[in-house]
Structure 1
Amino acid sequence: MKSLIVLVACLVLSEALIRVPLRKSKSIREIMSEKGIHLPYTDPALKYHPEILATSTIEPMSNYADNYYYGVISVGTPPQSFQVLFDTGSSNLWVNSVYCNTQACTSHTQFNPQQSSTFQSTSQTFYLPYGAGALSGIFGYDTVTLSGITITGQEIGLSTNEPGRTFIVTPFDGILGLAYPSIAVGGQTPLVDTMMQRGLLQENLFAVYLSSNGNSGSEVMFGGVDQNMYQGEINWTPVTAETYWQIGIQEFSIGGQETGICSQYGGCQAIVDTGTSTITAPQQIMSKLMSSIGAQQNSYGEYVVNCQESNYPTLTFTISGVNFYVGPSDYIVGQNDYCYVKIFPTYLPAQNNQPLWILGDVFLKVYYSVYDRANNQLGFASAV
């Protein structure tokens, strides 16, 4: 049925859906911990510094262990397939390539430009820092296919060096950035912007549903919203900086009690980031927050709690006058004698010195999120 929908879209330019199915995977920290290697804590906010026509389509994403969510795209002619992380916290598209000989590259699928008749090379190099790692590469142009939609001449990065351990254990072969073009390294045009410029989308927006509890069904939809993935109304809030998907938070409450952390600074800022598996809190609130939860920090920088306790507080984010709740079952994971809090500190403020949050997958599993480029706003609704 899905292939039939794509075929109809290609032939009659009707109301087909661009759905990208997503998978989910354990975090780098969890994978390395299982191997007996404990990574030091790294502030996730560090990464914030440095023609077939269709109307809309949904791409399923894979989900394993409620952390990284990734799906399939194809690059080149004939197409070479890659699993990529759909990341609203960055703007570049890159994949592993045969130009790279580090273990992180050779242990994943590698793009071979010599096997693509549509590849165009450039001499422009790049360096991309992320919260947990970095890589170098070279830019080129090629055809990218996303759930049956073909985008010709798309700018794409090919890795030439992926040092360290970070990308060795990841289940994906590259990253597809979904943030604004202003932060694209090398001045490259993000894939979503190319689709918008060519009129490939029914609406200039995309939406993300992240499943939880190990369930399948995660997806990113381009050009519309999937009404089957949320309930109630979508609540909108304006983007405060057209860089990342950054929004304002009026207040933050613990167990129904306002903390004043945002109001005393005239508000907080938050970056909504599908590429961060946790919630990251401003360092000004961490001590009070962890004390309220009853968490203790271990030698690896993780905040741990007693799994046998159950009276943990609900966290509330007030955004454009609407309260969004994150319960203890959302932010505490683990079993038996080891449970940890999926909230970490960030020490970097927003540009206006307001406290900075990162609302990662812990938040986004609770709320269906809609990223509206046409109106520069972000919407949340209760996920099904």
Structure 2
Amino acid sequence: MLYLSIIYVFVFCIIAKVFCDEFNLSGDAGQAYALKINIGHPPQTLSVLVDTGSTTLAIASYPRKESNIYFQSGNSSSVYHKGKEVQAKYSQGTWVGQLVSDFVQFPSLSNVPEVRTDIALITKSHKFFMNGSGWQGLLGLAYLPVGAWGENVIVGSWLDSLEKYLDKPVSFELKLCGTLSQTNSTHYGVFKMLDTFPEESNIFKTPILQKRWYEVGVLSVRLLNSSENNSSDSSDINKDNCVKLNEEKSIVDSGTTNIRLPDSVFRQVVDQLRHSAQASNNLILDEFWYHGEAGCWPEPQDWSLPSLAIDLLSTEADNSYFTLEIPAQNFMRVVSAHNNSRGSGSVSEFCYKLGLEAGGKETVLGYTAMEGLQVLFNRSGGWIGWRPSDCGSKTKITGPFNISSSLSSLCQLTKPVPDVAESIKAAQWILCAISIIAVAVVIYLLAPGIKVLLIRPLPRSQQISLSQAALVQQET
């Protein structure tokens, strides 16, 4: 028996070693995915959330009630204080801080060099750091326009600093695996930088419509019944819902937990989920479905609910789309798991929350929609690639499907733009053209007056007469 136990322990250690080498992201329930970061010289190791919904690298620089771990700038010999105050506001939480620059390196990214970059040292925050959070800051991976701001200051991003150092565009991949079992609420994943993209047939690409956030075309969010087969029938794309989903913006945001939908679409989808649960004899209170409250059971739940289908615009054509099929395991999120089956006298409890929420007018595909997938962010190429993962839930991707009309027109999608720099350059050319036209108009209007002034003979003043007399006398 002892020999068998040693073998089990040995095998467990090998498996744990493999997982620890692979996973560099982790997080508790509802707290997104965090990555280890080294800042300054000598390096101080902290944890930052990987956030595709913002741009700035922001780090706590003071002890909080929930944590005494923070970046101590006085202990870094390489920090440079820029003397500027910056701030940021998120869908939940705000902070104010001081702008500095320092060296940053990620221990788990061996192929990424250390670079100096802008850092916002948070000095005051409100509802930003969650109670018990195991992270001390945020690593923004979006484009520059959604960074922190301050008076007469532009806060650069780590990705922009890395691109400048390498002198080439960079891209990255997120593989979010979720929890490893039903009895564990901690989730794991992998973040890595990409030099090239795999040429695989199972990668589905959606265009980035605006290079601010990672804004994409979400065409439909609906329940996928087990008897339903996806087809290219355009009846799957409801014009009214499609327009609502993209009315404000539709973004892919790893820093957000839930799938956030416009209010009317949220109500429609959740009503169907609730009725499906009732038909399966799962009696769940309305507070769970509509108000974000947790539901708890003495045993882990094996949900028999339909999958959630998310239709995304494809890069293949303007009338083409593909579908992410999100299983119930993703959106019926485990938030706490206490298995007390060892006879301690306490009761086992497994608590869940709905991974959908009402978002006013915006659509956000939080990490609930990304788990079980590998998501490739090609920043310079302007597309996001989706493919099945070898870890996590059995999330599927089907398609591509075609309809007979333009999806950009049907859903009133924003047309793709190259990038911010080219937009600024275009604006400069437009202003230059307007200035030239304005000057031409002014010259045209003043031409008659200028002509009169040029033709009219100059009056003979005393000074001119004396000059002429002197000139004649000198010649004589």
Q: Under a length normalisation based on structure 1, what TM-score does the superposition of the two structures give?
A: 0.73
Whether the aligned pair in 2 keeps the contact of 1:252 and 1:261 (CA below 8 Å) is: no
**1:298 has 2:260 as partner:** no
Q: Which deviates the most, 164-173 or 245-254?
A: 164-173
Whether the aligned pair in 1 keeps the contact of 2:222 and 2:269 (CA below 8 Å) is: no
Equivalents in 1 of 2:196, 2:59: separation in Å? 27
Q: Which amino acid aligns with 2:156?
A: T
SS at 1:169 equivalent: coil
Q: Which runs of 5+ in 2 are unaligned?
A: 1-21, 182-186, 229-235, 275-283, 314-320, 338-348, 391-476
Counterpart residue number, 1:192: 159
Equivalents in 2 of 1:237, 1:245: separation in Å? 10
Equivalents in 1 of 2:25, 2:167: separation in Å? 21
Q: Under a length normalisation based on structure 2, what TM-score does the superposition of the two structures give?
A: 0.60
Distance 1:122 1:325, change over 3 A: same
Offset, 1:247: 0.3
1:205 to 171, 190, 210: 171
**1:367 has 2:329 as partner:** no
1:71-121 CA distances to partner (integer Å, 9 max, x unpaired)? Answer: 111111111111111110110001111xx35425xx142212221111111
Distance 1:132 1:122, change over 3 A: same
| 1:82-101 alignment runs, 5 A limit | 82-97=46-61, 100-101=62-63
**1:69 has 2:54 as partner:** no
1:245 to 205, 214, 237: 214
Counterpart residue number, 1:280: 260
Equivalents in 2 of 1:112, 1:342: separation in Å? 36
Offset, 1:26: 1.9
| 1:84-233 alignment runs, 5 A limit | 84-97=48-61, 100-104=62-66, 107-146=67-106, 147-148=109-110, 149-164=112-127, 166-186=129-149, 187-199=154-166, 204-214=170-180, 218-224=189-195, 233=202
Offset, 1:263: 5.4
Distance 1:128 1:20, change over 3 A: farther
Whose relative contact order is higher, 1 or 2, with alpha carbons under 8 Å and at least 6 apart? 1
Whether the aligned pair in 2 keeps the contact of 1:20 and 1:71 (CA below 8 Å) is: no
Equivalents in 2 of 1:260, 1:317: separation in Å? 13
Equivalents in 2 of 1:167, 1:303: separation in Å? 17
Equivalents in 2 of 1:210, 1:232: separation in Å? 21
SS at 1:292 equivalent: helix
Equivalents in 2 of 1:103, 1:84: separation in Å? 18
Whether the aligned pair in 1 keeps the contact of 2:92 and 2:128 (CA below 8 Å) is: no
Offset, 1:130: 2.3
Offset, 1:264: 5.3
SS at 2:215 equivalent: strand
Equivalents in 1 of 2:374, 2:322: separation in Å? 15
Distance 1:379 1:108, change over 3 A: farther
Offset, 1:238: 0.9
Q: Which amino acid aligns with 1:144?
A: V
SS at 1:211 equivalent: strand
1:376 to 371, 379, 382: 382
Equivalents in 1 of 2:57, 2:143: separation in Å? 12
1:184-211 CA distances to partner (integer Å, 9 max, x unpaired)? Answer: 113211101111122266x621110111
Offset, 1:223: 2.4
Equivalents in 1 of 2:351, 2:74: separation in Å? 49
From the CA coordinates, give the structure whose radius of gyration is larger. 2
1:326-372 CA distances to partner (integer Å, 9 max, x unpaired)? Answer: 1112211348785432111101x3xxxxxx32111111103211111
Distance 1:212 1:262, change over 3 A: farther
SS at 2:216 equivalent: strand
Distance 1:20 1:94, change over 3 A: farther
SS at 2:33 equivalent: strand
Whether the aligned pair in 2 keeps the contact of 1:20 and 1:221 (CA below 8 Å) is: no
Whether the aligned pair in 2 keeps the contact of 1:273 and 1:360 (CA below 8 Å) is: yes
Q: How many pairs were matched up?
A: 313
Q: Which amino acid aligns with 2:372?
A: V
Counterpart residue number, 2:327: 327
Q: Greater share of helix residues, 1 or 2?
A: 2
Distance 1:342 1:94, change over 3 A: same
Q: Which runs of 5+ in 1 are unaligned?
A: 1-18, 28-66, 350-355
Equivalents in 2 of 1:117, 1:78: separation in Å? 7
Distance 1:232 1:108, change over 3 A: farther
Equivalents in 2 of 1:116, 1:306: separation in Å? 46
SS at 2:257 equivalent: coil
Distance 1:284 1:113, change over 3 A: same
% identity of equivalent residues: 18
Q: Greater share of strand residues, 1 or 2?
A: 1
